[in-house]
Copies of this chain bind each other. A is one copy, B any other.
């Protein structure tokens, strides 16, 4: 670990600190206007759209949500018929969650609704910047996803109380 890398990491952290409220602005705000779901539900949907099936604990672990909170959010999503519980044949303690057809459609619509404000802004970008944004969000996502998820043993590495 040399100095240059250390400075880079500081800069990355600062970028992320800066980024976070901007994302809240664009996401949190509009979901409340467009749906009766919480931001938390949205994150679960986002996670489920990448991982077909996740147990309650895995959701909590991946999103750093306390387990009781996951229960509540999933309850809401079930009330909207966007996800469903699947009982695990191998271990009857485990409850697996996966998106329904309706969930996927709704999620798509929600994303479009959410993006409406942002879409107008993004549309003003020239093709080149759009490409850059596309690539860089993908890269940030991939790398953060890689390093933030405790891939080897996702559950045991989670706080027991989560």
Contact = CB atoms under 8 A, between A and B. Distances in A.
Given A17-B111, A64-B29, A147-B124, A12 B140 contact: no
Copies of this chain, complex-wide, total: 2
Interface stretch (A85-93, A97-105, A114-122): A114-122
Interface of A is mostly: helix
Contact of A22 (B1, B11, B122, B145): B145
A127 B118 CA distance: 33
Contact of A147 (B1, B27, B114, B121): B121
Interface size class of A (residues with CB under 8 A): 35 or more
A135 B140 CA distance: 9
Given A122-B12, A145-B18, A148-B25, A136 B129 contact: no
A37 interface: no
Given A5-B130, A14-B49, A122-B12, A144 B22 contact: yes
A142 B23 CA distance: 13
B18 A134 contact: no
